[in-house]
Every structure is written in C-alpha cells, then in structure tokens.
Amino acid sequence: QSPLPSIRLPAPGAPSSSFAVYRARFRAAFIGADPRVCAAFWLFGLINNVLYVIILSAALDLVGPALPKAIVLLADVVPSFLTKLVAPYFVHLISYRTRILIMVALSFTGMQLVA
C-alpha cells in the first residue's frame, strides 16, 4: 500500500461515494499545485476547444452545400494530428515559453486562414 491517499475519485452512486470523500480526494489531487499553472491549463484548454467548436459550427458556411463538411473537419484536425506525431521528437529542445508562443501564433494563423 502506498502511504499517499488514493487520488481516484469514487464512481457516482457507488456505496463508497459521498461528497466529503469526493471533496477530500479532489483536494488531495491538487496539493502543491500552482493555481496560476492550473488556471493557464484550463484557459488554454478552453480556448483550444472553443476554436474547434466554432470551426465545426461554421462548416456549412465555410465550404457551402456542394462540398462535404468533412473537409472542414480534416482541415482542422490534420495539422494538430501531424504535430502530435512529430513533436515528441524535438519539443524538449524548445523552451516552454517559446512553445506556448509558437502554438498561439499557429492557432491565430489558422483561424485567420479559415476566416
């Protein structure tokens, strides 16, 4: 047995689940976490998902009724998929601040191209 408390949250409706247990395990998961880092990850994740939803919602307006809407999905997903395939081989060589700036610039450029 590990001396650290289990971080896994109980399944909703399970006999072992209660709000007090859930709250204690949730707090244990974030012990020592920097609130600024948590907020930054939440914000970048939200922005990332919002852009995806906006592009998919506008698919019909972007390609018109004659072309399949899957073209918009592929144009949105393929660049990030390729990045996820090749980035593990070199991303450790780039500072974290530079990575963020590059990803923000690429996201902005992509949105400008779609617009």
Instruction: Express each pLDDT in 50-101 by its tens digit.
Output: 878 888 888 888 888 888 888 888 887 888 888 889 999 999 999 999 998 9
CA distance 22 to 18: 6
User: Which residues, 6 or more positions from 24, have their beta carbon under 8 angstroms from its beta carbon?
Assistant: 5
Sign of the torsion formed by the C-alpha atoms of 80, 86, 91 and 92 = positive
Residue 18 CA: distances (Å) to CA of 6, 29, 31 = 15, 17, 20
Give 18-50 pLDDT, tens digit per residue.
777 778 877 888 888 898 998 998 998 888 788
